[in-house]
Amino acid sequence: MFKHLTGDKWLGLTAVIAALLLIFVWVPLDIDTGLVEKVRRQIRLGDSLGPVTAGVVILLGGILTWMRPSADPQSLSVDNLKWMATLAVTITVSFVVMRFAGPMVTSLLTDTPYRALRATPPWNYIGYIAGGALLVATLISLARRKVSLSAALVGIIASLVFALLYDLPFDDLQLPPNGDV
Amino acid sequence: MKTLIKAAAAAALLTASATTASFADGHGWKPEGPIKMIIAFAAGGGADTSGRLIADEVTAATGWDIIPEQITGKGGINALLALKDMPADGTSIALVVTESLGYNAVAAEGAGITPGGFTGLTTTAGFQMGVVAKADKGWATFADMIAAAKAGEDLSFGVMSPKLADLAYLLGEANGVEFNIVSVRGGKAVMNGVTAGDLDVGFMAGIQGKGVASGDLVNLASALSEPLKQTPEAPKMSDLGVEFSADGYFVFVAPAGLPDDARKALTDALSTAANTGKAGGMIEKAFGGTTIITGDDLDALLQSDYDSSGALMKAAE
Amino acid sequence: MGIWDHAVMGFMSVFSGPEAFSILGVGISITLIMILTGFLMGITVGATPGLAGPMAMAIALPILISIFGFSQDAFLPVMGFLIGIMKGATLGGSVPAILFNTPGTPDAYMTTLDGYPMAQKGQAKKALKVAHLSSVSGDTFSDVVLVLCAPFLAVLVESYLDLPEKAALLILSLAFIAAVIGGSVGKGLISMGLGLLAAMIATGEDFYPRLTMGSPALAEGFPIATAILGVLILGEVFKSIEDMIRSGIQSAPRPAATVAGDRLSFAEIRRLAPHIARSSVIGTIIGALPGIGSTLAATLGYAFARARYDNKRSASDPRFGEGAPEGIAATEAANSAVSGANLIPVLSLGIPGNAAAVFLILGMESIGGFNPGPAVFRVPSDGFNPELIMAFGLFTAMFLTNGLNWTIGGVFMRAVGVMARVPKEVLLPVVLLLTLTAIYVQENTMAAMWIAVGFGVLGYIMRRVGMSPLPFVIAFILGGKLEETARQAFAATGGDAFFLFTHPIAAAFMVMSLAVIVFNLRKPSP
């Protein structure tokens, strides 16, 4: 039955289902006050009213999109989903490296905890430059469909430049991941 | 190789703390690494500015590295929740208001915030909280406003926190009128609403100073347990039949279990900074001067605020 | 103090701010330097295909805030820089359009139609001159209208609109934006609903942060800049990189001809003038309406000009599309005239009309002491209104940028043609890293970077299913304000559930909201 659904019909259907779930499941479960509430013997608008309004707007949009699909509908293809997955892996790995490279290197080489060194060069750059370079180099390599030294160089230079750009002039700013440790 | 790098790391740390050496000698405590200063107020406002200036003064005096960071929302509860789980070694502190640990902590039942979960360091300034209306409303006193309400005028009353909403309600009840209580975000929004005529009257915590001085705004009453510095003749809450007050302070806190030497060093550094240089000048201008409450006095203040909040909520139910 | 004193103080504040350096004992304020830097950067960015003005503004904003802080002193340098980028990018977008047949910014597409044929005929320099003259004229006209209209409109709003009317006006703006942007009303509404929903997360009156499923990372809600940078920049980067992977990397374009050619004679300028004037008016009107934007202004300006031109054309003149300078003039004047007028709703109502205005509002709201809205233009009976002075400072900055545009803009734009050769596959990943870093520096937590990536995926999906992300962004910015105003209106009217309909002006706005949706539904889909 779903074969006859064009991209916009799918989109409309998804929006309608999401809106109904929002209004009838998520809002009642995850908000403590109703559409209106009584406080100090006065009625005031509750916390649920805004989200329900948002849900109604999505619902309306979904119905309209379902009823009036555009002539040349676009939709997500399997290839798009594959790209999303590739991107998710690339970003996750880069962020993990960014978060943990600094503490790991520090614990291997010194007895001082990373937290105490998080504002001290060169330790505070390790994670950012490793993770940032990995992210940039991987994406360039994917776009060029080949792994190259130049991609890695661009990554290292870019992250180094940004690190110095933020860290040298400004005392109060922290590079990733130094606000988390 | 490894020893060499260890030596280098140690050297780097030493250099970083060299500037603090003289101060550290005197007090025996210095933070291990940079201090995270959580600010529970929107960036750019008066409270935020005072926090950042105090951080600058502390750094200038002690050499400690302080990194201010915003965690806003829910009347300071978000900031306290974040602070609660941070190390209690003096490298994490937060700037909130006493109300966050009092009324708001009680109201946010599920959050698990109590004064016992934190170590109070020092207050910096109190609120000059007044009940303020626009001058061209034609009310010279609080009684004029009540008379207008009794004559049938619907009055909207702007407040910026649930505690103040309760107080506004009680104020109406004690004087035989019912205000339409309107919650807005922050004192600046109350002032804008009152000035634009969207609100008839509202609580303002010092921001009204300039308008009152120029005659655009009027302090009808003090929302405190004592008279306002600017308008001493305005009646206090107790004069108007309300046994609660909006007394409150900006306060620095750390997680519970902070060692005594760290508490003392931080308290000294912060309270001195609040009275010094740009920070002192700014606090004088925006909040009418510093109010320093520390140590056991502060503990007692926070605990009594927390304990009395239940009574206020009950009274306003 | 009267309005004139405010104007003078605002004008002075641009020149007297903190000094950057001094020449011969005359101090040059940091604001002037920032305006100049922003303007030159804007032209460069506009000339780079794949980057656009709003994108550069988005990346620059967190960096600027980090540099200048949140204090009132930061207002003019930061906003001057953003305005410089906005104006510069509009001009810069025409450069690759004329030289390489690749529009540098989306609104420069119509410029390729006549600009590139002119370049092929060896008249590249002349085409650039026409683009420059028209762009600056349109921009300046629009700014004049802004300065004359915004205070007037603000005073009207202040005297006639109370809380219920303000709530209804917000609804009308949102309805207008959802209905007009993009091809489909349905998708516009979905996009807007999602934006409203995102604005609701963790906000609200209750102490339990709603819709967070108990997650502490969300307890503060989505940071506005993080979410918007995610949808607008990361979404675009994700899509563009995928496009490059699918269709291969296009080699750098070759210029059609050397950048040389005729001068622009006075007689020619006189022939262009009516087209520039007409398009300036069209662009200004479109700019003042929220949500429509410069691309439509350019299209309309071009279409009107073609109709006029075809009537009067002599046989020897090139047709539109074959290298008529009038085509460039009509397009560039129209899309540049949008940039001043779109500040009318921003300053007088606090409602952003397009992506560039979104970042101007974000900038104003991040910095303390300036809240866009009718309160800005209030003249107090005694003392002064700092916001009004800041507004006049902003106007001064805009006219200074125009001055730069008239004087050095033309020379500089001819120098940035080379930007079209920057390889996109290198540029975009670097932009991604810079954006993420800028977000971290503001928010200090890796969670914010994840949130940005999450919104980036949302922005990517929106682009893939043909849904404009702009209603999302604008609804996200206005959502909190709408809920707050509605709450306050409800409370202030003493709990009147129909406050949107019982006040005549509010009711009129509601009827208009409905009309705008229905009208756009009946319009045949393109």
Taking the C-alpha atoms of residue C90 and residue C84, their distance in angstroms, rounded to an integer, is 10
| SS3 state at C317 | coil
Q: Which long-range contacts (CB under 8 A, 24 or more apart) does B237-245 make?
A: B237/B167, B237/B171, B240/B142, B240/B171, B240/B174, B240/B175, B241/B174, B241/B175, B242/B167, B242/B170, B242/B171, B242/B174, B243/B315, B244/B166, B244/B167, B244/B170, B244/B308, B244/B311, B244/B312, B244/B315, B245/B167
Least Cα distance to B50 among B161, B127, B164, B162 occurs for B127
Task: Tell whether the torsion through CA atoms of C450, C453, C458 and C461 is positive or negative.
Answer: negative
**Full-prediction pTM beyond 0.90?**
no
CB distance A57–C189 less than 8 Å? yes
The sheet with strand B201-204 has its strands ordered as B180-183, B156-159, B201-204, B130-134, B217-222
Looking at residue B202, its amino acid is G
Domain boundaries, chain A: 2-67, 78-167
Domain boundaries, chain C: 3-522
Closest CB from C189, C425, C446 relative to A177: C446
Exposure class string for A61-76: b at 16+ Cβ within 10 A, else e: bbbbbbeebbeebeee
Taking the C-alpha atoms of residue A139 and residue C430, their distance in angstroms, rounded to an integer, is 9
Residue A93 to chain C, least CA–CA distance (Å): 12
CB distance B169–A174 less than 8 Å? no
CB distance B13–A179 less than 8 Å? no
Assign domain B130-240 one CATH number from 3.30.360.10, 3.40.50.620, 3.40.190.10, 1.10.3080.10: 3.40.190.10
Q: In the predicted model, is pLDDT for residue C106 greater than 80? A: no
Q: From the candidates C64, C212, C441, which should be mutated to test the interface with A, based on the most A CB atoms within 10 A?
A: C441
| Topology classification of domain B2-127+248-316 | D-Maltodextrin-Binding Protein; domain 2 (3.40.190)
- Measured between beta carbons, which residues in chain C are less than 8 angstroms from residue B153? none
Taking the C-alpha atoms of residue C67 and residue B201, their distance in angstroms, rounded to an integer, is 39
- Answer yes or no: is the ipTM higher than 0.95: no
Residue B317 to chain A, least CA–CA distance (Å): 5
Taking the C-alpha atoms of residue C286 and residue C292, their distance in angstroms, rounded to an integer, is 7
> Could you read off the pLDDT of C310-362 as tens digits, one per residue?
887 777 778 888 888 899 999 999 989 988 888 888 888 888 877 888 888 88
- Measured between beta carbons, which residues in chain B are less than 8 angstroms from residue C382? 214-216
Contact of C318 with C113, CB cutoff 8 Å: no
- Measured between beta carbons, which residues in chain B are less than 8 angstroms from residue A103? none
Which residues, in sequence order, are CB contacts of A19 under 8 Å at separation 6+?
A: A55, A56, A58, A59, A62, C193
| SS3 state at B118 | strand
Burial class (CB in 10 A: 0-12, 13-18, 19+), B117: middle
Strands B217-222, B156-159: pairing is unpaired
Residue B273 token pair: 């900074």
Looking at residue B287, its amino acid is F
Which residues, in sequence order, are CB contacts of C232 under 8 Å at separation 6+?
A: C54, C55, C58, C355, C459, C469, C473
CB distance B181–C491 less than 8 Å? yes
DSSP assignments along C193-230, one per residue = HHHHHHHHTT-SSSSS-TTSTT-GGGTT---HHHHHHI
CB distance A117–B5 less than 8 Å? no
Residue B10 token pair: 């140690």
Taking the C-alpha atoms of residue A138 and residue A155, their distance in angstroms, rounded to an integer, is 9
Phi, psi of B36 (to 5 degrees): -90, 120
pLDDT at position B1: 47
Numbers of helices and strands, H then E, in chain C: 23, 2
HSE-up (13 A, CA, CB side) for residue C450: 13
Residue A50 token pair: 């805004």
CB distance A62–C186 less than 8 Å? yes
Residue C362 token pair: 């974000």
Closest CB from B33, B87, B165 relative to A40: B165
- Measured between beta carbons, which residues in chain C are less than 8 angstroms from residue A78? none
Going residue by residue through chain B, which has 317 residues, state the pLDDT in tens, using 9 for 90 and above.
Answer: 445 555 555 555 545 444 444 444 445 788 988 899 999 988 767 888 899 999 999 999 999 989 888 888 888 999 999 999 888 999 999 999 999 999 999 988 888 899 999 999 999 999 889 999 999 889 999 999 999 999 988 899 999 988 999 999 999 999 999 999 998 887 878 888 888 888 999 999 888 887 888 888 999 999 999 899 889 999 999 999 999 999 999 999 999 999 999 999 999 999 999 998 889 988 888 887 899 999 999 999 999 999 989 899 988 88
Closest CB from B6, B87, B317 relative to A109: B6
Domains B2-127+248-316 and B130-240 share a fold: yes
